[in-house]
Structure 1
Amino acid sequence: LDAVPSGGGSVLKPTSYILADISEKLDAVPSGGGSVLKPTSYILADISEKLVAAIALRSIQSKYSKIIDEAINRVVSTWQENPYGNLTAQDIFYVRICKFQEIFQAFSDIADNRIESQQQTTTLAMLISDINTIVLHIISEIKSSREHNGTLYTLPQEKANVHEYLPWTAMSGSVGLRDTLSHLVDISVRYGAHCTNEPELKQRLYRQIYEMVDAILDGRKHYLESVHDSEKYNVLLQQFESQRRELISILIDDEQYEYAAKLAEKYLDFQCLVIICDETKNQDRLDGYIKKFEEYDFSQFAINWHLRQNRQGEVFERFKGNQAALSQFMRDHPTLGWIQLVFNGDFERAAKILLQLAQNETEFVQRKKSMLSLAKLAAFASADSDLGIQLESINAELNIIDYQEQLSEALMQNFGYDVENPKVLKVEEIINLFISEENENVNEFEFRKALELLNYIDEPYDVRHKIWSAAILRDNWTAYDANNAVDYLQNLIFFKLVEVCHLMDGDCETFLPPMEDFLNSTELGDLVHNTSFQYLFKLTYEYIADAFKKPIETSMEL
């Protein structure tokens, strides 16, 4: 507009004068969302920008008349205003400047309707691209106007720190443009770039996606800057960072690395920058970012990203040219010092550190196993060093893990253990699982494993007694045919366990406790007072002594 009729209708007033009149009448009014007061200058800026947007739309209406006319008709129909006389829907639409933002939702609705009614073809992709072109042309004109006229609507410093700055283009919902832009980004990827094989159209769509993402993030960034000193800043910052990563990742996922990198550099999304360098295997680019964003400690962020990806081994290779970053990393993560030792060829110290780390690991058994395996490799690589004691400790720890891994998943789940990421169990815990009543499929070999684990306990006597007692309680020692007692006892788990141990260890005295230990045991409860049990148990010991040629003295008679 150049000039519009004044209130009296007889004098033309320039638009700037009319805006000045409005400014004098308003101090602060609710924003489009209705919950935040906006200073008059911000409201005038919005009105001015909507005038610019209307002019921008009108300037390309002849080129995209079919789409724009349909969008205008949709908007006017929602206002329930029917053109009359010589008026058209366009006349009504352009008069309602304060509602101009509704045209963007209409463009989005047009695209959605075509998506529902058409197959995913190049024609649909071209329609989406045309809609994007219209929207981005308007945004470009608004941005240009904002840059040239921003000082006209700037608040004094003392007021700028009080009021939030949320331009209408950054608002969500029906009063703004943000939600519509986000939706256009989504359909431009799914029904645009992914549905055409024409290189030129595909690249144009990705360019538009890049520009729309830039517009979304730019609006959110300016809003964040205006609330920097408020209580809600941290929450809004987290929301911004989450949306920033989500939007830039769209381009990364489709391997549009240059567009993604431009956005990540502009809005300081270091995670996306590291991912881009990683996926493109571009070490030079990573080194460049380390220098460019040195003030933000980019190198430490990149190192920590590798740690979160469980790729510690790549840290020293990728950052070998940045000794300052590596030194800082070593100070912050002393438990990873073994990696540097390996790179330096000091395998002996690396083996000792890895063994110590493994012995201190109590969370994940797979992590402990990996540390032990690396420690063993480092020990073997250190050919000139005497690491015999360390190797014995490493092998012992690996053996214990091997026993744990032989526990069935069903048994572990019965006790509430995570079978996907199992924790490190103590030797006593593994033994208890092998001999537990819940281990329904237990046999003499399971009990044998429990006995073998005694080698890793400092004081094994009580635990050994517990294992043998559990083996006794697995069978019925009272309901049997006395005339066939010998045949019966040979099917007892207790006897089968003795057979296995004798086969593997030889002398029964080395593994089988004296009979009196059980007959006076509290582990067996009232069973020790049962005469049927006493008879069969003594018979079992006598049979074992005779069968394996090692007499066992007893103080009780049959």
Structure 2
Amino acid sequence: MLKSHFLSFSSLNVSSRSLNASSRNLAESSNYALENYGTALPVAVIELISSAERKAECSVTLSKDGWAWFVCGRQLVIWKYSKSAGANTVSTPSRKSIAVSSPKSHELTLPPSDLAHKSDLVAVFCSEADSVPSCIAVSPEGTVRYWDSIAHENFFVEINADLQGQECDTLSEAMPLGCLVATTTASVLLLTPRLTDGSPNIQCRNFKTPQGLLGSISRRMSSLIFGPISTHQSMETRLVKLLSQKKDSHTLEVQILCSQTLQYWQVGETERLLYQCDIDKWARESLIAHVWSRSDRNSIHKLRVWILDAQVYKNDLILLIAASNPNLSSQIQYALAALPMQSSSPPTGFSSFCVLKYATAMAERSDSSLQESSPPQCRFVLVGSTAYLYSDKWILCVPSNEPLEEPDKLEVKAANERFLGAGVFNQRPVFFSTRHGVLILQPSVGGPNDSQSFIDESIMEHSQIMAENLDPAQVNYSISIYLQNESTSSKLRLAFINFCRKNIYETQSLLEELFASPTSKGQIDSLMDRMVVDFSQQIIDDYPATDPRWTDSVPAGHESTFTTVSLLVLHQLEDKVKAHDLFLTFLRNMSIWGDLTAIGDRRGAKSSAFVLMEHAEKLRASLALRALHTPGSTLIDASIRRVLQERAVELTNDKLTQQDLFYRHITALGDFFPCFVDVVCETVANMSGSPSDKVKPISNATNFIIAMTNAARDYRARNIELLEQCENSFETLPWIASPGPRSVRSSIIRLLHLLVEEGVANADDAGLRSNLWSQAANLTDILLDALKMYLESCDEHSPSFAQVKQEVQSERSAILELFLRGREFERVALLAEKYVDFGALLTVCDETMNENKLNVYIDKLGESGFTEFACKWYVKLLRLRRSEVSTFLEGHPDILWVDQSESENYLDAAHTLTNLACVEKDLYSRKRTLLSLAKLHLVTEEKLGPDPEVVQAELENVEAELALLTHQEQLPVVVLQAYDIDPNTMRVFTASELMEMYICDENVLANELDFKKALDLLNFLENQEERESRRLGIWARAILRDAWTQFDTDNVLQSISGTIFFKIIEFSLGTGEDLADLLPNPEEILREPQLSELAGNDVFQFLLKAVYEHVNSLMEATR
């Protein structure tokens, strides 16, 4: 939102009666009307404005969301000024009715301050649609007050930002990150509202200043001072504008514009300064060139320049600039400049600069010091690309298609009426008047369209030249053709002619008549698409209208487009560039551009907008070629001759040169590339001197092609958003990337091979070779960029997509292979990463043995499938180098089995896996996986191998190891918890350790099954003595689980049947096990040290022997 303009209420003297004036058009010009808009003003606002006793400064902000806030002293009034959809205007109600119909407003109290509050330091925003807004307000001293809901005036959070004496100037909403606050000296803070334990809170973060950007402490500069200040300007840094755009949900791009410089920041979890540039320098240079080019040097040094305001339009920053030269005049000149904005690199200057046909008188001052003069009080809002400049008394409308014309001006007549603020709502400018409240500026019928592009004044000058050079006879001929035959092409031509003459009404009428039928647009090869594309081709292929040499060569009945009025070829091309740009502007301004669809071609259908962009690209490429085509350029001259020969063009007019004929036919520019490469190859092949002599013509030829293709690519990159405004579901195959044996694409590839195989190979200097490789990288980048654009436009679900993708990838890999063979690993890595060639990246890592770089690519490109591709790539590499790999892997069994498995040596792979499992001690899950893989290979070998006995023996070993792991897997949960063991990360336990875990005291729920598992684990012990000792210990631990001395000896069988000891025996009998090997005799048990206390107890001895007697009887019964 633009800065509000602040006024003292002592100068307003507004009556309540003036606020109730009811008039539809409060001010008018030939193209615009100022009307009442939205809801009535809140009573509180009317009373504040009407109070003549107040001396406080007042300001208003009108947000794009339809909310307004009015600040007067410490009073803040917030209301919704926009009406529901469809209510575009409203009559201001009478004073009597205001109390009834006044909209709901919210009155808040701002923090205490010794300085004047203003609406620029307030932000009102909604976290959700239709919710009650929140509000953040900052005092000039830095006291921050946050209302989570403006409905609750007394519920707010207040903190104090440490500004170290600086004064706050602007608060800009940047949700969801928060709000940005800038001081008058360009320090920036980020305020982030949060909920902490359900309560609203706000955090404050200062931007960190990069080292070297701090100014003098004595001047109390902010943390964002922009380098050295021009001696032409005041040494004090003055904030002009704080702008921000949402890049994604977590990142902002922030522009901080000061009186001399611009800084571009990226803000997320941290803030980073991307670049800074000197705006004042570019503004001075442009003003001198456009306004004071004929002034003497002394007067230019006195030039005073102010950057007044800025707004973002698409990818440009539009600046409002004012300047005066008091030595020559007391007038202040105004200009609009467009500065390209991109986060990747700083701009190098303005892309367009238009001096307005409007000036104001410099305010008289008692102090004549120029250095202390204040900037003019003028701001602007931007709707589309139309700028609406405003001060407290007037509004100036500057449509971009007529920046050189005198702009419309609307003024307030009443002495006590002022504009306090402005904004944009629903793509229309809105203003706040002290007399009428909220006003909207509407275009009159036939007025300008705000959707047009920001046009450089040179294009508009060319439209005037074209209009002045229109031959009346030719115009009358077009009119007669249209009237007699109703020629559609003549009608479009007439519409364009009227547009150049600025006859907008006639233009619109002709177009409405031409495209009245619903079938005239919206489909492939529609009337609109064909006519527009054909006329675009006529423009770039037109004959020079004023060159008398062409008189005999122009076909009979040809209707000139008058695109070029120059005689020199270079100037003719420049004229065609401007004329074609004007035609594209005509299409956008007259609402044709968005209705374009596609035209059919041999490949299917091509976007009409894309074809028009190709025409513009070829113009730029031709212009680049002509700029390099100097006398003595034998390669270009020979190529042009060959092009004309292949086209079968005869030079029948001896007044015209081959260059005249070639540069006239722009659409066929692609013919030049194969002929040029043919000439270069033949020239190099026929050179008889030293091989190093071949390098220079190859390098020069490459520079020509790079200049041409770069000019085309740069134009496409700058205007890519234009394609997005049209139907873009069609494949976009750039002319640079079109296939074919005589195409631009094949010519570039041929030139690349020549450059590497003849140029680099014969260069006898390292520096020269480096330059040649740089040329090769630039040319490769241009071609791969075009191929990438084509592939991204293709439908992934189409039957031909896989084939197209394979062709593009194969061609890309073949080109990058040139760099790999030349060991230009850094260059090929950059290209391969940019264009996602995983094979080339892996080759670079493999050839350079750079494991760190491989890990970087895995982290960066893992989600894009790089890791999977790398695995497949290395497996394929293993196959190609089988013998070397096998020898190497013998010392690396952890990956040896993969090679053995790939070679179908399944038994060897199983043996390797089994050995790995046997030495695995750290991770149970890993050992089980290794054994499972070994078993899988053995089963496969058993089915296919010739020696089943060997396989069976190996399989038994694996099964035994798996059985041991199964015991570990079945450990009771209570034991794992007692020993703090995680089943997912537990180590491998020995058989002895597992026995102890099954029967330990911590296994409080142990039963006969747990003890039986412990006995089963005896089979995994190889030492006989240890096995016997463990067996006795397990039975003894089983006995100790029950209180034998407390059993009832009168019911012996009932008592012993419930013991763990007896249940183990009973379970073993039930499973058919031989108790002779499992159960020790009573005497051995009684000698077990763990049972020393029980062994002497008569009751225990009695019961133990009773168990054995009962077991013997059971065994006898089963025989």
Secondary structure of 2:719's partner?
A: helix
Structure 1 partner of 2:716: 146
Structure 2 partner of 1:104: 673
- Long gaps (5+) in structure 1: 321-325, 369-374, 376-385, 391-558
The CA distance in 2 between the partners of 1:337 and 1:6, in whole Å, is 89
Bigger mean CA deviation after superposition, 346-355 or 278-287: 346-355
Distance 1:351 1:63, change over 3 A: farther
CA positional deviation for 1:7? 7.9
Q: Are 1:288 and 2:856 counterparts? A: yes
Structure 1 partner of 2:701: 131
The CA distance in 2 between the partners of 1:282 and 1:115, in whole Å, is 39
Q: Are 1:59 and 2:622 counterparts? A: no
Q: Letter of the 2:666 partner, please give it.
A: I
Q: Letter of the 1:142 partner, please give it.
A: A
Distance 1:60 1:364, change over 3 A: farther
Q: Are 1:113 and 2:686 counterparts? A: no
Q: Are 1:205 and 2:205 counterparts? A: no
- Identity in percent: 24
Secondary structure of 1:132's partner?
A: helix
CA positional deviation for 1:293? 1.0
Query: For each residue in 1:462-487, what CA deviation from the matched residue of structure 2 results, as whole angstroms up to 9, or x when unmatched?
Result: xxxxxxxxxxxxxxxxxxxxxxxxxx
Contact preservation (8 Å) 2:910, 2:937: no
Q: 2:781 aligns with which of 200, 211, 214?
A: 214
CA positional deviation for 1:98? 0.7
CA positional deviation for 1:304? 2.5
Distance 1:274 1:315, change over 3 A: farther
CA positional deviation for 1:96? 0.5
Contact preservation (8 Å) 2:695, 2:758: yes
Q: Letter of the 1:118 partner, please give it.
A: M
Contact preservation (8 Å) 1:83, 1:92: no
Q: 1:15 aligns with which of 580, 584, 606?
A: 580
> RMSD across aligned C-alpha pairs, in angstroms?
4.6
Query: For each residue in 1:143-163, what CA deviation from the matched residue of structure 2 results, as whole angstroms up to 9, or x when unmatched?
Result: 11111122234453xx312x1
The CA distance in 2 between the partners of 1:146 and 1:232, in whole Å, is 26
Contact preservation (8 Å) 2:640, 2:658: yes
Bigger mean CA deviation after superposition, 8-17 or 272-281: 8-17
Secondary structure of 1:291's partner?
A: helix
The CA distance in 2 between the partners of 1:30 and 1:317, in whole Å, is 64
Q: Letter of the 1:211 partner, please give it.
A: N
Contact preservation (8 Å) 2:760, 2:772: yes
CA positional deviation for 1:173? 3.0
Structure 1 partner of 2:818: 250
User: How does 1:263-278 map onto structure 2 within 5 Å?
Assistant: 263-278=831-846
- TM (norm. structure 1) is 0.55
Structure 1 partner of 2:919: 346
Structure 1 partner of 2:553: none
User: How does 1:76-87 map onto structure 2 within 5 Å?
Assistant: 76-79=644-647, 80-82=649-651, 84-87=653-656
User: How does 1:12-51 map onto structure 2 within 5 Å?
Assistant: 14-18=579-583, 28-31=598-601, 34-51=602-619
Secondary structure of 1:97's partner?
A: coil
CA positional deviation for 1:187? 1.6
CA positional deviation for 1:345? 8.2
Contact preservation (8 Å) 1:166, 1:223: yes
Secondary structure of 2:733's partner?
A: coil
Contact preservation (8 Å) 1:303, 1:315: no
User: How does 1:423-438 map onto structure 2 within 5 Å?
Assistant: none
The CA distance in 2 between the partners of 1:191 and 1:40, in whole Å, is 41
The CA distance in 2 between the partners of 1:7 and 1:35, in whole Å, is 40
Q: Letter of the 1:231 partner, please give it.
A: P
Secondary structure of 1:81's partner?
A: coil
The CA distance in 2 between the partners of 1:363 and 1:55, in whole Å, is 74
CA positional deviation for 1:58? 1.5
Instruction: Flag the structure with larger Rg.
Output: 2
CA positional deviation for 1:72? 2.0
The CA distance in 1 between the partners of 2:914 and 2:920, in whole Å, is 7
Contact preservation (8 Å) 1:102, 1:174: no
Structure with the higher strand share, 1 or 2: 2
The CA distance in 1 between the partners of 2:845 and 2:774, in whole Å, is 21
Query: For each residue in 1:140-186, what CA deviation from the matched residue of structure 2 results, as whole angstroms up to 9, or x when unmatched?
Result: 11111111122234453xx312x111121111237841111111112
Distance 1:133 1:340, change over 3 A: farther
CA positional deviation for 1:344? 8.4
Q: Letter of the 2:638 partner, please give it.
A: E
- Considering Cα pairs closer than 8 Å and 6+ residues apart, tell me whether 1 or 2 has the greater RCO: 1
Q: 2:659 aligns with which of 90, 110, 120?
A: 90
Secondary structure of 2:603's partner?
A: coil
Contact preservation (8 Å) 1:306, 1:314: no
Q: Letter of the 1:112 partner, please give it.
A: C
User: How does 1:173-184 map onto structure 2 within 5 Å?
Assistant: 173=740, 176-184=743-751
The CA distance in 1 between the partners of 2:944 and 2:627, in whole Å, is 65
Contact preservation (8 Å) 1:168, 1:175: no
Distance 1:84 1:261, change over 3 A: same
Structure 2 partner of 1:192: 759
Secondary structure of 2:606's partner?
A: strand
Q: Letter of the 1:307 partner, please give it.
A: V
Contact preservation (8 Å) 1:30, 1:37: yes
Query: For each residue in 1:215-251, what CA deviation from the matched residue of structure 2 results, as whole angstroms up to 9, or x when unmatched?
Result: 2222221111111343321221122222222221221
Q: Letter of the 1:192 partner, please give it.
A: G
User: How does 1:348-367 map onto structure 2 within 5 Å?
Assistant: 357=937, 360=940
CA positional deviation for 1:211? 2.1
Distance 1:221 1:27, change over 3 A: closer
Contact preservation (8 Å) 2:710, 2:782: no
The CA distance in 1 between the partners of 2:610 and 2:943, in whole Å, is 55
Q: Are 1:171 and 2:741 counterparts? A: no
Q: Letter of the 1:94 partner, please give it.
A: Y
The CA distance in 2 between the partners of 1:268 and 1:363, in whole Å, is 44
Structure 2 partner of 1:440: none
Distance 1:341 1:232, change over 3 A: same
Distance 1:356 1:198, change over 3 A: same
Contact preservation (8 Å) 1:248, 1:260: yes
Query: For each residue in 1:52-98, what CA deviation from the matched residue of structure 2 results, as whole angstroms up to 9, or x when unmatched?
Result: 11111112222872322222222223332316343211111111011
Structure with the higher helix share, 1 or 2: 1
- TM (norm. structure 2) is 0.29
Distance 1:92 1:203, change over 3 A: same
CA positional deviation for 1:360? 4.4
Secondary structure of 1:118's partner?
A: coil
Contact preservation (8 Å) 1:251, 1:260: yes
- Long gaps (5+) in structure 2: 1-458, 476-496, 498-561, 564-578, 879-884, 922-926, 958-1119
Q: Letter of the 2:832 partner, please give it.
A: A
The CA distance in 2 between the partners of 1:251 and 1:50, in whole Å, is 29
The CA distance in 2 between the partners of 1:352 and 1:147, in whole Å, is 56
Distance 1:27 1:124, change over 3 A: same
Distance 1:360 1:337, change over 3 A: closer
Q: Letter of the 2:612 partner, please give it.
A: L
Query: For each residue in 1:109-152, what CA deviation from the matched residue of structure 2 results, as whole angstroms up to 9, or x when unmatched?
Result: 11221243235811212211111111011111111111112223
CA positional deviation for 1:266? 1.1
Q: Letter of the 1:148 partner, please give it.
A: R
Structure 2 partner of 1:447: none
Distance 1:7 1:272, change over 3 A: farther
CA positional deviation for 1:337? 8.7
**How many pairs does the alignment contain?**
359
